[in-house]
């Protein structure tokens, strides 16, 4: 990929924030051949504009890609706009409740773990000890490539796991009272929704993941919920009553400009109106 002098190459990315490391922060990068590392940097250097939702994310990109901070455009994460649009949130939730009316009267726990290399996902052996109240529904939503594994998990834990194949993770966030994740960027999206009551980080493979994939060094400092490694601890957290989370500081850090107008600002920045005088 070679960018010509007058051209701009704009990165929009796929997430509003970062829990995992990437680029030069990925511990595997140092193990790659020198030719690979040079190729990676050549690609990073071609990008002229990095659209982000916060200074925090811009700083991470600059450090992870070894590019100047001046290439960061804190305009908002365009994909986040929907979560700030009450019409979209209401219409999406209504569609889900029409298909699954029980969700409206019960506590919906959405478990959305991050994608793991090798297209495999395995829960720890003690997951069978998970305890849900009669009024709690646990929906598991894996990466789209792992739909077959979702069905396997439901077959293995029929009394615990609910599958909702008709709706995406993004859509299910609108009815979730509790989000259980791990290292996924879905937490940054969920924090924008009014129904966000509880965020739990179920990090049963923390040691392995930190060593093999890498985690942001300050993750523990800003995580907007408890980090648990065992089902015993997960049970304790899920048994606690939910309440609207105080996410002001978290959203100021990560969702600074994710206010529902990111698409508008991004288009205005890259395609400014041309004014002419008579």
pLDDT digits (tens, 9 = 90+) for 31-55: 999 999 999 999 999 999 999 999 9
Confidence of residue 121 (pLDDT cuts 50, 70, 90): confident
CA atoms of 127 and 130, how far apart (whole Å): 6
pLDDT (mean) for 249-275: 92
| Percent over 90 (pLDDT), the chain | 82
SS3 50: strand
CA atoms of 203 and 182, how far apart (whole Å): 5
How many residues appear in the chain? Answer: 278
Spatial neighbors of 78 by CB under 8 A, at least 6 apart, are: 12, 51, 262, 263, 266
Confidence of residue 275 (pLDDT cuts 50, 70, 90): very low
Alpha-carbon distances of 172 from 10, 63, 99, 163, rounded to whole Å: 30, 33, 12, 11
pLDDT (mean) for 221-236: 96
Of residues 117 and 181, more confidence is placed in: 181
Q: In what order do the strands lie in the sheet with 107-111?
A: 161-162, 136-140, 107-111, 178-181, 198-202, 227-228
Domain with CATH 3.40.50.12580 in the chain: 97-246
Q: In what order do the strands lie in the sheet with 10-11?
A: 10-11, 49-52, 72-74
Domain 97-246: which CATH class?
alpha beta
Average pLDDT along the chain? 93
SS3 20: strand
Nearest to 17 by CA among 92, 114, 119, 139: 114
First vs last C-alpha separation in the chain: 42
Please report the pLDDT score of residue 84 as a whole number: 97
Q: Residue-wise over 58-77: b if at least 16 C-beta within 10 A, else e?
A: bebbbebbebeeebbbbbbb
Q: What is the pTM of this model?
A: 0.93
CA atoms of 137 and 132, how far apart (whole Å): 8
- Give the least confident one: 1-5, 70-74, 244-248: 1-5
């Amino acid at each position: 990929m070679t960018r010509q002098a007058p051209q701009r190459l704009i990165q929009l990315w796929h997430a509003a924030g970062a829990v995992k490391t990437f680029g030069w922060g990925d511990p595997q990068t140092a193990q790659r051949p020198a030719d690979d590392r040079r190729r990676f940097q050549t690609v990073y250097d071609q990008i002229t504009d990095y659209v982000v939702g916060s200074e925090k994310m811009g700083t991470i990109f600059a450090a992870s890609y070894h590019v100047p901070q001046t290439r960061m455009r804190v305009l908002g994460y365009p994909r986040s706009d929907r979560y700030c649009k009450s019409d979209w949130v209401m219409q999406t939730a209504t569609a889900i409740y029409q298909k699954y009316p029980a969700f409206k009267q019960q506590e919906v726990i959405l478990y959305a773990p991050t994608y793991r290399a090798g297209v495999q996902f395995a829960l720890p052996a003690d997951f069978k000890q998970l305890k849900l109240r009669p009024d709690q529904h646990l929906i598991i939503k894996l990466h789209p490539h792992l739909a077959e594994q979702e069905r396997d998990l439901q077959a293995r834990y029929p009394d615990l796991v609910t599958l909702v194949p008709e709706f995406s993770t993004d859509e299910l966030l609108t009815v979730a009272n509790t989000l259980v994740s791990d290292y996924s960027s879905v937490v940054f999206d969920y924090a924008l929704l009014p129904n966000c009551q509880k965020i739990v980080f179920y990090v049963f493979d923390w040691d392995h993941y930190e060593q093999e994939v890498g985690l942001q060094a300050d993750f523990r400092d800003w995580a907007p919920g408890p980090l648990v490694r065992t089902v015993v601890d997960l049970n304790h957290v899920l048994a606690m009553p939910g309440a609207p989370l105080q996410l002001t500081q978290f959203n100021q850090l990560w969702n600074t400009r994710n206010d529902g107008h990111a698409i508008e600002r991004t288009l205005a920045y890259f395609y400014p109106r041309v004014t002419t005088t008579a």
